Amino acid sequence: MKWSSNLQPQTESIMIPSFDYKTPKTLQEACDLLQEAHGKAKIIAGGTDLVIGLRNGDSNPSLLIDITSLKELRRIEETDETLSVGAAVTHSEIASSPLVRQYGIVLSKAASEIGSPQIRNLGTIGGNIVNGSPAADTLPPLIVLDAIGKVISRDRERNVPVAQLVKGPYETSLKPSEILVGVSFKKLSQDIRSGFIRLARREAMAIARMSIALLLQVQEGKIQNIRIAPGAILPTPQGLSDVEEFLKGKSPDEEVLRIASRKVSEAMIRRSGIRPSAPYKAPVVEALFLRAMRRALEGQDETGRS
């Protein structure tokens, strides 16, 4: 029959426009390729965001430079003081890494809740950062970890706090010739507790409606150190320094936490303006913050679910 299945061409619904594709063997080669492309190249790692962009016509590069073969970008390594994660390490690898779990569990949890198993097997931490989505799941943990991004180009290497890598929604501070090669952060000591809570409209494959990542150090009943970063409610990833300042040195009783939670929602409105979604988001971000704080204080932050 004419219409039976055979080896004749089948089609996808939307075609991706053509480009060249290079898989450099060394980082130097990658930098050279990028430099020589004069802004017409794009770096590809997992491709979970980039390929959709290509399909939708959001970007139209003439060359893709695949960095996933570069060994140094695929490693999770520790030194005495720091843990570094290569830009091409996948979310699955982060979620299952004993090192990340030990020294930065807040990041493991965020990575384990991204998208779906399929997406986590492809998507990378570097890609999640440079895609610059306000709802990027790894950004709040990286902010509270004070993670530093390592950025290189042919002639230069610089270290940039992750908070400064993302300039605005879907916009980075990277120059066209620069590659994010990894992030590193100080290994968390045992007495630092962490909390991560993510709220979405669905239990899998859903963009975060909002999230809270926090790190907490309590000594003799008083908050010694605290870092708080919300996800999906601010245009750029950032910590809530005013709330942190308020909490430092205080004992985290219910009253203090309540005032702090109010400050979280105020900070959100101050930085993103009053949006139609604010009446929902303000009380919810307060609640999530309180929940994350309580869980961290009780030392039970295992689930990560809202």
Residues of the shown chain interacting with another protein in the complex, contacts defined by CB under 8 A: 2-21, 23, 44, 46-48, 51-52, 54-55, 64, 66, 68, 92, 115-119, 121-122, 199, 201-207, 209, 277, 280, 283-284, 287-288, 291, 306
- Shortest distance, CB of residue 7 to another protein, whole angstroms? 4
Min dist. Cβ of residue 143 to another protein (A): 22
Pairing label, strands 148-152, 179-186: antiparallel
Cβ-based neighbour number of residue 215 at 10 Å: 26
Q: How far apart are CA 135 and CA 231, in angstroms?
A: 6
Bridge-based pairing state of the strands 20-22 and 63-66:
parallel
Distance CA 208, CA 243 (A): 22
Q: Which is nearer to another protein, 21 or 255 (CB)?
A: 21
- Between CA 12 and CA 201 the distance in angstroms is 29
Query: Smallest distance, Å, CB 52 to another protein?
Result: 5
The candidate with the shortest Cα–Cα distance to 137, out of 52, 240, 232, is 232
Nearer to another protein, 45 or 165 (CB): 45
Question: In sequence order, what are the residues at sequence separation of 6 or more whose Cβ sits closer than 8 angstroms to the Cβ of residue 135?
Answer: 207, 208, 231, 232
Q: Find the shortest distance in angstroms from Cβ 31 to another protein.
A: 20
> Whose Cβ is closer to another protein: residue 21's or residue 222's?
21
CB of residue 10 vs another protein: minimum separation in angstroms? 4
Q: Which of 194, 271, 273, 275 is nearest to 237 (CA)?
A: 271
Min. distance of Cβ 100 from another protein in angstroms? 18
Q: Considering the complex, what minimum distance in angstroms separates the CB of residue 119 from another protein?
A: 6
Q: How are strands ordered across the β-sheet holding 41-44?
A: 20-22, 63-66, 41-44
- Comparing CB distances to another protein, the nearer of 82 and 272 is 272
CA distance 118 to 41: 26
Which CB atom, from 41 or from 145, has the smaller least distance to another protein? 41
Nearer to another protein by C-beta: 39 or 117? 117
In whole angstroms, what is the distance from residue 269 CA to residue 288 CA? 16
Closest to another protein by CB, 128 or 184: 128
